[in-house]
């Protein structure tokens, strides 16, 4: 009985083991089925979405095709009317241009009429010269140049003539700045709406005009590449903006790579026009440009680009402004620290911080962010920096003037001319005599010499006497002759007036005639003492107890 019971238990155990194995197989099959079901469902969903997208694109394409066909039909229908209108306009402009050639442009014509006269004549060189001559009236020029360009028989050709002339003188590097500014006005007048993302529909210019514009752009681009190879960068900011405006206006965007446009925009991002033009260029993702600007510490430029491209949610302006403020303070502190807080380093640090604050204030005001970003602390800080800068300039000027005056006190009049206290300015400084010197060479002797004068240490010489330095006749006394002889100083009550004077004749002879005057202990010498032709007399310093 015991053996039969053991055998039955083993069979039951084996049965349970088989059940466990079947259960594991069933679980694995269930999981595999679920995975396959999910995969097929995702494929079905993806195919459905792609199918819907394709249907939407097909519908859009059909709609655009219908619109294009309708537009072409309308153009074809309007061609005769447009042709007659254009012919009438050209005839009118031709008559106006011929009449303009027949009459002389007088100087009495106002600004607008003169601009129109040059445009009617298609005189690009004369137009540029006139614009340059009226550069001080830039506001009036910008207002009148668009209407004047409309009077030209072929405005694109006029602008291209001006650009070709500019590129020619740019290669010679003569008179570039003024011509660049004038050409910029002409390009802006030809493409007043080039900054908008929606350009004109259809070809705006004839094929020959576009081909000529492409040649001009290629010449311009070659000059940029040459500058880049020589390490001189690409272009100036104003010229870069003008180049981009021409490329957009003549629809030449496909000629150059996105990398070239990105580099050009990044290099001149500080130019406010560049933020507007970047959207019209439509190269890549503007967000990448903004990211690069933020990484390179140009948060203010990033704010302008974010507003122009509509990416303010992705790049919050307030966060960018706060980051820029923090970095500007850090940069100013670093400059001062690296310069050991010297005067030059402090000046540079103050200038950097002040410029940063002004840029922030301008950015906040341009985009109406005063409610979110308070400008009062920035304005107070800017006022304090400007006041400190003005004080430094004032102190520096005062110190420089004081130093200059101290140097000028040592010079006297050796000939004619006027100066302080009636003393002329000297072209050279007389040699100093040794201290306590009591003898001069014998060549200094004179005819009819006067007795050596015995001067009081506090006697003042208010007349035309002028000594190179108070140390020339220094003696053991605390009296001073002052920085400049002829300026009133306090007199010592023990001043002893001296009753003598030296008068020199033109032949280096000494005359002993003079008039002595004494005013309250001051000694005045009647005639000027001319040092130009004689040597100074021997001077014996007095002895004092």
Reported as a single tens digit per residue, the pLDDT across 514-525 is 333 333 344 333
Reported confidence tier of residue 286, pLDDT bands at 50, 70, 90: confident
How far apart are the C-alpha atoms of 370 and 361, rounded to whole Å? Answer: 9
Query: What is the model's pLDDT at position 428?
Result: 40
Whether 51 has a pLDDT exceeding 90, the answer reads yes
Which tokens go with 34?
């679920």
CA torsion, points 73, 77, 80, 83, in degrees to nearest 10? -40
DSSP 3-state of 144: helix
Which tokens go with 136?
């001080």
Reported as a single tens digit per residue, the pLDDT across 234-258 is 578 889 999 999 999 998 988 898 8
- Is the Cβ–Cβ distance between 460 and 495 less than 8 Å? yes
Query: What is the model's pLDDT at position 282?
Result: 77
Tokens 């009438």, located at residue: 88
Q: Can you give the pTM of this predicted structure? A: 0.57
**pLDDT, averaged across the chain:** 74
How far apart are the C-alpha atoms of 145 and 190, rounded to whole Å? Answer: 9
Average pLDDT over residues 261-287: 86
Element (H, E) at 519: strand 516-519
R_g over Cα of the chain:
45
Contacts of 475 (CB under 8 A, 6+ apart): 436, 457, 541, 542, 544
- Is the Cβ–Cβ distance between 318 and 370 less than 8 Å? no
Whether 415 has a pLDDT exceeding 70, the answer reads no
Query: What is the model's pLDDT at position 7?
Result: 54
How far apart are the C-alpha atoms of 444 and 303, rounded to whole Å? Answer: 81
Percent of the chain, pLDDT > 90? 26
Tokens 């602008």, located at residue: 159
Query: What is the model's pLDDT at position 470?
Result: 39
Tell me the β-bridge partners of 503: 511
**3-state helix/strand/coil string of 407-457:** HHHCCCCCCCCCCHHHCCCCCCCCCCCCCCCCCCCHHHCCCCCCCCCCCCC
Query: What is the model's pLDDT at position 455?
Result: 45
Query: What is the model's pLDDT at position 463?
Result: 43
CA proximity to 224, closest of 240, 207, 247, 208: 240
DSSP 3-state of 510: strand
CA proximity to 481, closest of 494, 465, 502: 465
Reported confidence tier of residue 333, pLDDT bands at 50, 70, 90: confident
CA torsion, points 87, 92, 93, 96, in degrees to nearest 10? 160
Query: What is the model's pLDDT at position 400?
Result: 77
- Is the Cβ–Cβ distance between 278 and 195 less than 8 Å? no
- Is the Cβ–Cβ distance between 253 and 247 less than 8 Å? yes
Whether 305 has a pLDDT exceeding 60, the answer reads yes
- Residue 270: count other Cβ atoms within 10 Å of its Cβ: 14
Query: What is the model's pLDDT at position 408?
Result: 52
How far apart are the C-alpha atoms of 290 and 315, rounded to whole Å? Answer: 8
Reported as a single tens digit per residue, the pLDDT across 343-389 is 888 888 888 889 999 999 999 999 999 999 989 999 999 999 888 88
First to last CA, the chain: 155
């Amino acid at each position: 009985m015991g053996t039969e019971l053991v055998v039955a238990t083993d069979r039951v155990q084996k049965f349970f083991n088989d059940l466990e194995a079947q259960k594991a197989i069933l679980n694995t099959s269930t999981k595999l089925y679920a995975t396959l079901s999910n995969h097929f469902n995702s494929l079905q969903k993806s195919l459905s979405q792609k199918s819907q997208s394709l249907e939407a694109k097909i519908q859009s394409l059909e709609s655009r095709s219908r619109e294009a066909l309708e537009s072409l039909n309308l153009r074809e229908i309007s061609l005769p009317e447009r042709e007659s209108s254009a012919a009438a306009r050209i005839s009118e402009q031709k008559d106006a241009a011929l009449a303009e050639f027949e009459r002389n442009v007088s100087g009495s014509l106002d600004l607008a009429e003169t601009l129109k006269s040059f445009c009617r004549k298609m005189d690009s060189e004369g137009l540029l010269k006139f614009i340059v001559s009226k550069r001080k009236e830039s506001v009036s020029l910008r207002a009148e140049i668009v209407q004047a360009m409309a009077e030209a028989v072929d405005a694109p050709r006029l602008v291209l003539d001006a650009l070709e002339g500019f590129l020619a003188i740019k290669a010679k590097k003569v008179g570039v700045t003024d011509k660049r500014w004038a050409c910029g006005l002409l390009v802006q007048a030809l493409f007043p709406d080039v900054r908008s993302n929606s350009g004109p529909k259809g070809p705006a210019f004839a094929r020959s005009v576009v081909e000529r514009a492409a040649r001009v752009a290629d010449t311009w681009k070659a000059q940029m590449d040459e500058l880049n190879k020589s390490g001189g960068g690409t272009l100036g900011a104003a010229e870069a903006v003008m180049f981009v405006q021409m490329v957009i206006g003549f629809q030449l965007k496909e000629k150059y790579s996105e990398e070239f446009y990105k580099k050009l925009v990044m290099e001149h991002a500080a130019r406010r026009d560049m933020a507007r033009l970047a959207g019209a260029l439509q190269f890549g993702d503007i967000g990448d440009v903004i990211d690069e600007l933020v990484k390179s510490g140009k948060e203010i430029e990033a704010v302008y680009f974010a507003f122009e491209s509509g990416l303010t949610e992705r790049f919050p302006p307030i966060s960018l402004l706060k980051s820029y403020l923090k970095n500007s303070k850090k940069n100013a502190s670093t400059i001062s620290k690296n310069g050991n807080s010297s005067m030059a380093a402090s000046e540079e640090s103050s200038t950097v911080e002040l410029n940063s604050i002004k840029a922030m204030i301008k950015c906040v005001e341009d985009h109406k962010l005063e409610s979110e970003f308070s400008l009062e602390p920035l304005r107070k800080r800017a006022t304090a920096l400007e006041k400190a800068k003005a004080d430094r300039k004032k102190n520096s000027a005062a110190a420089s003037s004081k130093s200059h005056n101290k140097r000028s006190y040592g010079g006297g009049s050796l000939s004619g001319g006027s100066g302080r206290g009636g003393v002329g300015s000297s072209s050279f400084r007389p040699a100093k005599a040794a201290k306590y010197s009591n003898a001069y060479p014998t060549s200094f002797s004179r005819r009819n010499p006067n007795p050596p004068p015995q001067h009081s240490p506090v006697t003042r010489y208010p007349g035309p006497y002028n000594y190179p330095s108070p140390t020339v006749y220094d003696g053991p006394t605390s009296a001073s002759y002052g920085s400049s002889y002829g300026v009133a100083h306090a007199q010592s009550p023990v001043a002893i007036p001296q009753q003598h004077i030296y008068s020199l004749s033109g032949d280096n002879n000494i005359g002993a005639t003079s008039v002595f005057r004494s005013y309250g202990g001051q000694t005045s010498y009647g005639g000027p003492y001319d040092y130009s032709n004689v040597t100074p007399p021997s001077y014996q310093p007095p002895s004092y107890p």
